[in-house]
């Protein structure tokens, strides 16, 4: 098996790591190369991270009945988010069986400044739970593993949206309420900051405008009926 190692994002290092020519979108052989590389399987990634001190991270949880209100807040909140603030939202079932929507965030700048920013997420309505506080970055990224444990079955569909319109918000809220497994969730990721300031042809990932990635993630344990969100929910994901 051929092992590809990428040690940097510049083109020269990519070429060296792939042991071949880097072919970009728009190049003559791009489509052919994409078909060939689609047969490759990535089994592991190694990341070289920037040194970082404690971050301000955690989540605020609201009942699903507030989904439309929370999503409209999330849309306005992320429009002005600085590079240091990453904010996702999840439509989930809590361990206590409550249908809920959570705002999960991580601020990697000065903690006092971050405290003022995250206070908006804490106080715009009355939450049922809140876990925001200083944490190590390692703890933040490893806590995410609990949301996708080994042994479950998964089925995922995603769309990238330029914005969260009121129509999209209504569709997302309805999809969360239609969940057929307590392990399933709807995830919205806000893509912004430095990642959105890279040219669309500079890397293999071309979707570089500020956007929202909406994922419907069906998940179930062994022994459960193999159900997922029905096709109406999947097709209801609005297109950009």
Digit-by-digit pLDDT tens for the chain (240 residues) are 444 444 444 444 444 445 555 666 667 666 655 554 555 566 777 877 778 889 999 999 999 999 999 999 999 999 999 999 999 999 999 988 999 999 999 999 999 999 999 999 988 899 999 999 999 998 998 888 887 888 888 888 999 999 999 999 999 999 888 888 899 999 999 999 988 888 888 888 888 889 999 998 988 887 655 444 444 445 554 333
Least Cα distance to 159 among 236, 82, 101, 95 occurs for 236
> Which one, of 115, 100, 101, 128, lies nearest residue 57 by Cα?
115
CA 63, distance to chain mean position in Å, is 21
Using DSSP, state whether 196 is helix, strand or coil.
helix
The predicted pLDDT at position 165 comes to 96
Q: Is the dihedral of CA 144, 150, 154, 157 positive or negative?
A: positive
CB-neighbour burial class of residue 226 (10 A; exposed 0-12, middle 13-18, buried 19+): exposed
Say what the pLDDT of residue 211 is.
Answer: 93
Q: Please state, in angstroms and rounded to a whole number, the distance separating the CA atoms of residues 170 and 68.
A: 7
Q: Please check whether residue 74 is in contact with residue 87, taking contact to mean a CB–CB distance below 8 angstroms.
A: yes
What local confidence, expressed as pLDDT, does residue 237 receive?
47
Class of domain 55-235: alpha beta
Separation between Cα atoms, residue 208 and residue 200, nearest integer Å = 6
**Parts of the chain belonging to CATH 3.40.462.20:** 55-235
Question: What is the Cα–Cα distance from 95 to 116, expressed in whole angstroms?
Answer: 29
Global pTM? 0.74
């Amino acid at each position: 098996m051929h092992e590809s190692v990428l040690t940097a994002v510049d083109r020269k290092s990519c070429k060296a790591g792939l042991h071949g020519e880097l072919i970009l979108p728009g190049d003559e052989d791009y489509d052919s190369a994409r078909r060939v590389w689609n047969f490759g399987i990535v089994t592991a990634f190694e990341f070289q991270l920037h040194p970082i001190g404690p971050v301000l991270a955690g989540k605020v949880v609201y009942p699903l009945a507030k989904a439309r209100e929370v999503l409209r807040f999330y849309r306005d909140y992320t429009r002005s988010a600085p590079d240091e603030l990453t904010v996702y939202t999840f439509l989930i079932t809590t361990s206590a069986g409550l249908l809920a929507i959570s705002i999960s965030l991580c601020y990697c700048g000065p903690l006092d400044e971050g405290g003022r920013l995250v206070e908006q997420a804490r106080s715009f309505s009355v939450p049922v739970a809140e876990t925001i506080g200083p944490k190590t970055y390692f703890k933040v990224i490893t806590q995410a593993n609990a949301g996708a444990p080994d042994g479950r079955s998964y089925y995922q569909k995603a769309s990238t949206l330029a914005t969260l319109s009121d129509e999209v918000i209504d569709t997302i809220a309805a999809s969360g309420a239609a969940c057929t497994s307590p392990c399933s969730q709807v995830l919205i990721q806000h893509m912004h900051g430095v990642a959105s300031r890279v040219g669309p042809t500079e890397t293999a990932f071309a979707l570089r405008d500020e956007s929202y990635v909406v994922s419907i993630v069906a998940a179930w344990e062994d022994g459960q009926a193999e159900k997922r969100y029905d096709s109406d929910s999947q097709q209801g994901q609005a297109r950009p």
